[in-house]
Each structure stands twice: as C-alpha cells, then as structure tokens.
Amino acid sequence: MTKGAKQDAPRRRGRRPGGTDTRAALLAAAREIFVEQGYDGATVRAIAARAQVDAAMVNHWFGGKEGLFAEAVLKLPFNPQDVVERVLVGDVDQLGERIVRTFVTIWDNSAGGMFTALVRSIAGHEQASNALRDFLIKHIMARIIAKVAPDRHEFRATLVASQLVGMGMVRYVARFEPLASADADTMVAAVAPTLQRYITGTIS
Amino acid sequence: MTKGAKQDAPRRRGRRPGGTDTRAALLAAAREIFVEQGYDGATVRAIAARAQVDAAMVNHWFGGKEGLFAEAVLKLPFNPQDVVERVLVGDVDQLGERIVRTFVTIWDNSAGGMFTALVRSIAGHEQASNALRDFLIKHIMARIIAKVAPDRHEFRATLVASQLVGMGMVRYVARFEPLASADADTMVAAVAPTLQRYITGTIS
DNA sequence: CAAGTTATTCAACACGGCATGAATTCTGTG
DNA sequence: CACAGAATTCATGCCGTGTTGAATAACTTG
C-alpha cells in the first residue's frame, strides 16, 4: 500500500524500444477524451496520460492541441460519398427508412463519438459547428435531396438535419431514456416516416 | 490616439453613487456571454467587463461563477405549468401545431438564449444536461403526453423532445439556413405533423 | 453629522492550461 | 560498430483562470 506496486513506475527517458505507435495511441485517447469532455474540457495532459505518453508528444506529432483535434475528430472516419450512394439504392418511398437505419448503425458503432465530440465542442471550437453542417448538410443531405425532393431543397435538407441532430443529441449526448437505448428497428419505425415526409412529402 | 479619450478611465474605487443595480447588470451580461461561450468558455472577467464592473462583484453577489450560472441560465424565465396548460387547451388533433408554435415563439423571443447556453455548456457543466432533460421531458412533455398519448408515454416524450431539440440546435445553436430564419408559420407547417404523429400517431 | 453597513475596486494568490527546449535513449544506415 | 536522426521525457516558462482580503467610497440610520 504505502509505496504501491511498480505499476506507475516513472517511465524511462528517451526513445522507447520496439515499434510502439505513439501517434495512434494519442489519436485513440484523444477521440475518447474529446468525446467525453469536448475541445475546451479535454486537456492535453489528460489525453497524453490515457495514451500513457508524455504531453509533449502531442506537439511533436500534431503540432499542438488544435492539430490533434483536427486529426482525431474533424477528419471523417468514412467516405460520405459511399453513404450517399448506399442510401440512394432502392425505392424512393423507403428513403427515410434507409437514412435512419444507416445513421443509427454508423453512429451506434464507431462514429457516434464524433457527433458527441462535435456537439460538446461547439462552444469552444469554431470549426466544430461548421464541421457538423458540412458533414450533415453539404456532404450528405444536399446530395440525397437534390436528386429526389420535389422542391425547396435547402429547407428540406435542414429539416432532415434537424431530426437527425435531435436524434443524435437525445441518443448520444444527453442520453434521454428510453430513446437512448431503443434498438435500430424501433428507431426506424418511429423516425423514418418523419424523414420521408421531410424529403418527399408536403411540408406546407 | 496615444493616450486615448477618457472613455476607459480607471474607475474610481469604493461604492458607486446613485442607485446602480450591479446585480442586474451582471445577470444580463452573464446571459449574453454564457449564450455565446458556454459555461467553460465564459470567463468571469469577460462577464464583469461587459457589465462594466469589477470581476470580484460576481463573488460578492452570487458567491462565484457557479452561482451566477445557476441564477442567470438554470433559472427558468417562465412557469412550465403555464406552458403546459396553454398548450393543452383545444383540439388534441392540433396539439403538435400548438407545441411547435409555442416553442418557436418562446425561444425566438427571450428564452432561446437559455437553450443555446445549456447546449453550449453541456460539455463542461454537469447540471446543464440534466436541466435540459428536466425542462423538456419532466416539466413539459411528460405532463402533456400523459394526458393524451395512447401508450408508450416515455418513448413518445423522448421522440418529441428529439425533434424539438433538433429544431433548437439547427435554429439557434448551429444556425443552419434556411431553417434558422424561417418564420413561425413555416416551421409549424413543416414540423407540427411530426410531433402530432409522435404524440398520438402510430410509431411502430 | 457620526458611526456602521454595504458596495466597489485593486492587487495578489494559487492553480492549471499549453507550448518549448534541452537532455536522453533508441533506430537505421553505411 | 559508429554516427546521424528520430522519438521520448523532463523541467520550465508564460499566460489566463476563479477567488480572496484589504482599502476605499457611498449610503443608511440614529
């Protein structure tokens, strides 16, 4: 007890032996902590600690906190074009369904953190808000809606975005139950008709 | 140029003459800055500066930054019970319509800032997320839905909350156009049917 | 008008943030 | 195997944060 095990031995100085990938470790740790704390709340020290590495490595590998955020959060973990194409395949009447399922699936797995990190960083990081808009509106919704919606494309796109963002907020950021734990099928059944109407239905 | 006009003269020390309401000035400034920056981003010094007052007054009047936040942002600017009663008057088939109009109206006027401040503070302030949930779900939606929804009250409540939160995010926080500038009637026409379905419609 | 209370400012503190540069250890190439 | 370069840690610098206590000025009460 008094001296503790050798678990947190003061790390040796200088280059580490073996092919340790510090850069990747930092990226992983950064994603976790930016998700939990947002840009302002996350400290370089905390990220480095979780990666079991000195804080100075953030500067060495990414040029600073800013660069780490850009690389870990702002960079998309998948190609938007793929999502668009994948969603567009099939009957237009079931577009809402495919969109909900796609987003719930993607966000439930890897990319949900990116959404949370962006929202939690909106206050302190200028680009966060822009990144969210570019991602949802520009890269995804605009392309889908331009092909199938009858009119008022921009308004329809922001309507769809509003329901998607709301779903993300409630499900991943604020975690209101029981929606936060509802399975994909339940979410699709509930939300798909909304999106379908926003895209192809009458909105006035 | 060199010495500047007497505009930012070093304020005199000691109590100010006249019935100046420093407390109110701080509250007003705090609302502005918490809305713009969130809890973490807002600094006591910046708030005091906007109120044209020394930073120490925050401690004097509110016991600290925390107390100021509680008083300026967490305290509701209206009585939830009133909103519930006002919304419930009328045909159940137009509930969605009244809800959208009520929220857009309230938020477009005074309380939109509170929503933005809460969202921007979710990362750094524990209570922010709870406040949002208590406000939307507990105080508002639960009471409405318990009286008119056929089943699955909690799930329906969170669904409604998701669309309202999404609308707030897109309209007030992230400001996606053209939704951000759409007038109340347009929003009602677009969003009311969604809420109506979440409340009384079939969601599975 | 004297004394006490309240409001206000100023200066300073203690803390924690990010970034930097020197010192140290490993890897790779000839 | 020597040596250049890259990776890593440590110590430190500098800045901005919220909070505190003393000093000063105005108001309030007798």
Q: Is the per-residue pLDDT at B172 higher than 80?
A: yes
The pLDDT of residue A12: 80
Q: Fold for B80-200, please state it.
A: Tetracycline Repressor; domain 2 (1.10.357)
CATH superfamily membership of A21-74: Homeodomain-like (1.10.10.60)
Interface of A with B in 47-106 (CB under 8 A): none
Instruction: Per residue of chain A (204 residues), give pLDDT as tens.
Output: 444 344 556 678 878 888 789 999 999 999 999 999 999 999 999 999 999 999 999 999 999 999 999 999 999 778 889 999 999 999 999 999 999 999 999 999 877 789 999 999 998 888 899 999 998 999 999 999 999 999 999 999 999 999 999 999 999 999 999 999 999 999 999 999 999 999 999 998
With tokens 């998607």, the residue in question is A164
Query: CA–C1' span, A19 to C27, in Å?
Result: 10
Closest nucleotide (C1' vs CA) to B22 is C7
Domain B18-74: assigned CATH number = 1.10.10.60
User: Is B169's Cβ below 8 Å from some Cβ in A?
Assistant: yes
Rounded Cα distance, B158 and A178, in Å: 7
Query: CA–C1' span, A15 to C25, in Å?
Result: 5
Contacts (Cβ under 8 Å, ≥6 apart) of B38: A40, A122, A123, A124, B117, B120, B121, B123, B124, B125
CB atoms within 10 A of CB A57: 18
Burial bucket for residue A128 (CB in 10 Å: 0-12, 13-18, 19+): buried
Q: Which of residues B4 and B192 earns the better pLDDT score?
A: B192
Domain boundaries, chain B: 18-74, 80-200
User: Is B153's Cβ below 8 Å from some Cβ in A?
Assistant: no
Amino acid at A91: D
The tokens describing B101, both together, are 């109009």
Rounded Cα distance, B104 and A172, in Å: 24
- Cβ–Cβ gap B162/A166 under 8 Å: yes
CB atoms within 10 A of CB B76: 14
